[in-house]
A = this chain, B = another copy of it.
Amino acid sequence: MPEDTPRRRLDADARREEIVRVTLDLAAKQGVDDVTTQDMAQAMGVTQGAVFRHFPSKDAIWLAVMHWVRDRLMAVLGRAAEQGRDPLDALARMFAAHIDFIAAHPAIPRVLTSEHLHIRNRALRELVTEIMLGYEARVAGLLEAAKADGLARADLDAHAAATLYIGMIQGLVLQASLLRGHRTLKAEAARTFPVFLQAVRPPNP
């Protein structure tokens, strides 16, 4: 058989995975809310109707994308955190891993925060809420552990600090996307995280 012939037919599982992949790619290129099923099909080299053999609706595609994001993100964050020597080191590694993950998949924060997707699709909004609350709880847990170890100020409001942490990432993403080119996500992130740490660290060295 000829080896260079591109395989068109994929089994349903592989095709579903590819749809999720190209959807994220297209979202990064042209914006989350401007990805059409026609775009997806074209990016895969099939016709538009074929997309609906594998998903019953476009909402279902976004839900699958969100599951993919949750699974990957949580795995990346977990792996980074468990290499930390202490809770604050774990937090720093988690932050760096998250920034790297976003740099590799720029559409992810947009998918998580796109109100257009949340509004009618309740399942999607609940999944986002689960991701956010889980993330916040993880950060707050690390901060509580840091308090117990004397690495964080005793009077720190861990919940509020976790909110600040998540907002920091959002702010960095927005800046990087508006000032594309002028400021890089990684450089700004490296400057901003130490400021956040100052809010956490105890007053007496």
CB-CB < 8 A to A178: which residues of B? Answer: 118, 125, 128-129, 132
Separation in Å of the A40 CB from the closest CB of chain B?
18
Contact-residue bracket for chain A: 35 or more
Which A residues, 16 to 39, have Cβ-Cβ distances below 8 Å to chain B?
30-34
Q: Contact between A159 and B119 (Cβ–Cβ < 8 Å)? A: no
Contacts of A115 in B (CB 8 A): 31-33, 110, 114, 177
CB distance A174 to B33 under 8 Å?
no
Per-residue 0/1 for A166-205: is the Cβ within 8 Å of any B Cβ (1 yes, 0 no)? 1111111011011100000000100110111111100111
Nearest to A112 among chain B residues (CB) is B174
Chain B minimum-CB-distance residue to A153: B198
Known: A163-B192, A171-B163, A175-B132. A31 touches B199 (CB 8 A): no
| Docked pose: A160 CA to B175 CA in angstroms | 11
Q: Measured between C-beta atoms, what is the minimum distance from A38 to chain B in Å?
A: 17
Q: Is A157 an interface residue (CB 8 A)?
A: yes
| A153 → chain B closest CB, angstroms | 7
Q: Is the CB of B132 within 8 A of A195?
A: no
Pick from B31, B128, B172, B177: contact of A163, CB under 8 Å = B172
Q: How many copies does the complex hold?
A: 2
A113 contacts B by Cβ under 8 Å: yes
Q: Using Cβ atoms and an 8 Å threshold, which residues of chain B touch A204?
A: 203
> Complex Cα distance A33/B161, Å?
31
Contacts of A33 in B (CB 8 A): 33, 115-116
| Residue of A114, A119, A198 ringed by the most chain B CB atoms within 10 A | A198
Q: Which of A156, A177, A196 has the most CB of B within 10 A?
A: A196
- Contact flags (1/0) for A61-81 with B, using CB distance below 8 Å? 000000000000000000000
Contact, CB under 8 Å: B164 / A132: no
8 extra A-B contacts, CB within 8 A, seeds A33-B115, A163-B171, A167-B192: A33-B116, A34-B116, A34-B119, A128-B178, A157-B191, A166-B174, A170-B170, A198-B200
